[in-house]
Structure 1
Amino acid sequence: MIVEGTVLRGPEFEPIEGRVVYEDGRIEAIEEASTTSDRIVAPAFVNAHTHIGDSIAKEAGRGLTLEELVAPPDGLKHRLLRESDRDEMVAAIRRSVEFMRSGGVTGFLDFREGGADGVSVLREAADGLPVDAFAMGRDELAALEVGDGYGASGAADDDFARERDAAREVGKPFGIHAGENRTDDIVPALDLEPDYLVHMVNASAEHLDRVEKQEVPVVVCPRANLVTNVGLPPIEDLVERTSVALGTDNVMLNSPSMFREMEFAAKFTDLDAPEVLRMATRAGAEIAGIDAGTIEEGREARLLVLDGDSDNLSGVRDPVRAVVRRAGVADVLNVIHPAQHN
């Protein structure tokens, strides 16, 4: 299989004119060659943090605080989740997965409420779709057994030592919220030696130094943080110290669009476009444990193909900057996932 156009090649997303050759779900070659194609070929996205069960409550809770919206066990989202019919939940989640797919996502990590049953809901919702749904189970150890990892709510809610030990024992990742709207849960979270942290909005210099020392990746969700009025994460400081990935967080509050998340992150920081694109691709892929996120020979063929001659993208001088700051779902021509070709 071949796709031609301007290819964003390698870890630096170097734009070259040419083609990507892929076979059996793997990139076989990246060839520089003259082409008449206006397409832009980029790595597909990995959404590194979602709460996709919230798809049953989009734009609910106007005017509520973060605690009133999402704090377990009685925040609005948790009450709505308990009240939701399983079929309704599956259908709503599937629509969100399909939306992410249409926007260039081939994998996402979901903090999955509802224990083992919540994991099965996600499995059912994503069944047959060419998107990898990584279920970070929570609420009970059984969710870790059937899921892809454990996603802890935060060290202020519990100590999670048992869950951390269990995840380590079975070789699955352990992620935890930290520093979203407080500071006192950051050190206890770091003490657990997590595989990754989520948010870190209120991290101090000392916290950031420890993140660097422990080499803990961080997932940031700036649009959600802005909506819940907890501030904005220190993305530039984090990038100086560790690997930083992008997530869209609660579907209740935000569309799960990586295009919107990248644009927002790019425009409120001084990070260059390749760094932001790396946050939306390679950094998330590393947390998920998939061999993707850059267009290189031997890696999985997870590719996003954009129409460089769309009304939105025609005349673009910098294709990397265009993908990060300008492109959207309407510009997507194709999203390639390895499972489509195996």
Structure 2
Amino acid sequence: MFTITNGIILKGQDLTLTKENIVVDDGIIIDIGKDSMEGKIIDVDGAVVCPSFINGHMHIGDSIIKDEGYSLSLSEMVKPPGGVKHKALANAEDEEIISAMKDTMWEMVESGITHFIDYREGGIKGVELLKKAAHDIPIKPIILGRDDSFYGDSPDLRKVKIAVRKLLKIADGIAPSGFGEITDEVAQIIVDECRKNNKISSIHVAESESNQIESLDQFNKTEIGRGVESEFSQLVHLTNPKVDDLNSVSKSNQNVVVCPRANATLNVGVTPLNQILNLGIKPLIGTDNVMLNSPNMFRELEFTLKLMSVYYKDYLNPKELLKMTTTNVCGSEINHVVEKSLISVGCPAEFMVSNSFSINPYLNMINRCESKNILYIINKKLNI
């Protein structure tokens, strides 16, 4: 049992500022209060106590080829099955992939990340490789699998259904690449089977303008429209929405993830984050492919804050931005799978304590902190 005292706490779903003590016993927050104090006393002297981070969207497997293919197009880099990433993964040894994923996970742990949602290539074997890599690391991967049987103009739907069911026995959900690679029938099988198993179905939508144009030309619907209509539980990117796309998302219960640095690296656009937030959508934020970006959420947050300010000529609320990597997932339809926690009594202790450099604790985490400024990281597997 221990007590964190004299910290500036970002408490609960809304990250409400408070100056109280936090008592933790056996990995659970058992009390929060000005006079609460039991066990080992840890005086953090005005440091900021913030919920741990979740990286809302990753492809950790391509940790083996960091920065390879820089300046190539989106399709050349990551479109299955012939993208730079897929060729590299196909030719890599298992131990090489596992070692690179381990390095990336430790990098995330050291920067305050306790959860990440991964699009896992390689079918069942790909899922098993990540589980093996994560076995002794204090972080929770939420693994969304896929299978090569999903792709093509005329897939064997029987084989697709079998592959989905096998994956769902070991994975947390299913995540095909995008609507440019699968048919609507395959999409529906994925969504239906995930719903039956109470797991996550996720898909990239509107990452590039060309994806949207192709979808409109072939189906008279945008990729976002198809994602909403198919009822995937999570939609990733939404970088290039068309008229009414975001309104339709705001009326659904679907989880949204944005990836501003990846979009910038691939030169596909700037996420309309101001509009997304104004519609009441509560997105997550992710760093996407490790081959493109470090998985560090501090870098993602600062980049996003400043990009949105200059691009949209309007300031982004820093508290709402910080929620995107801390508490937004706790109120979403996917948190029964993710199991992310708040700083709240009765919740698992999942938070970090960081040096304070700013009069604004939210901007302190977004605009000032780096991994080296974290004093303590607390989660189920990593305790004081």
Same topology, TM > 0.5: yes
Rg comparison, structure with higher value? 2
Matched residues, percent identical?
Answer: 34
8 Å CA contact retained: 1:134, 1:288 = no
Match of 1:250 in 2: 289
Deviation at 1:54, TM superposition (A): 0.8
CA offsets per residue over residues 225-261 of structure 1, 9 Å max, x none?
A: 0000000111111122322111110000000011111
Match of 1:169 in 2: 196
8 Å CA contact retained: 2:58, 2:116 = yes
8 Å CA contact retained: 1:8, 1:16 = yes
CA offsets per residue over residues 121-141 of structure 1, 9 Å max, x none?
A: 100111111110111111142
8 Å CA contact retained: 1:3, 1:20 = yes
Matches within 5 A, 1:1-342: 1-4=2-5, 5-32=7-34, 37-139=45-147, 140-141=163-164, 142-159=166-183, 160-181=187-208, 182-183=211-212, 184=215, 185-241=223-279, 242-269=281-308, 270-285=315-330, 286=332, 287-289=334-336, 290-308=338-356, 313=357, 316-340=358-382
Distance 1:112 1:49 in 2: 11
TM-score, structure 2 as length reference: 0.83
**Aligned residue pairs, count:** 335
Deviation at 1:268, TM superposition (A): 2.3
Deviation at 1:110, TM superposition (A): 0.2
1:222 alignment partner AA: P
8 Å CA contact retained: 2:115, 2:340 = no
8 Å CA contact retained: 2:329, 2:340 = no
Distance 1:300 1:240 in 2: 31
Deviation at 1:32, TM superposition (A): 2.5
Identify the range of structure 1 (248-257 vs 12-21) with the bigger mean alpha-carbon deviation.
12-21
Deviation at 1:77, TM superposition (A): 0.3
8 Å CA contact retained: 1:278, 1:293 = no
Deviation at 1:262, TM superposition (A): 1.0
TM-score, structure 1 as length reference: 0.93
8 Å CA contact retained: 2:234, 2:254 = yes
CA offsets per residue over residues 62-85 of structure 1, 9 Å max, x none?
A: 221010000000000000000010
Partner-residue secondary structure (3-state), 2:203: strand
Q: CA RMSD in A?
A: 1.7
8 Å CA contact retained: 2:71, 2:266 = no
Partner-residue secondary structure (3-state), 2:207: coil
Distance 2:251 2:15 in 1: 28
1:198 alignment partner AA: V
Partner-residue secondary structure (3-state), 2:268: coil
Q: Say if 1:6 and 1:190 are closer, same or farther in 2 by CA, change over 3 A.
A: same
CA offsets per residue over residues 137-193 of structure 1, 9 Å max, x none?
A: 111423232101111211121132222221112111101110101222222222210
Deviation at 1:113, TM superposition (A): 0.3
Distance 1:189 1:17 in 2: 43
1:61 alignment partner AA: G
Deviation at 1:340, TM superposition (A): 4.0
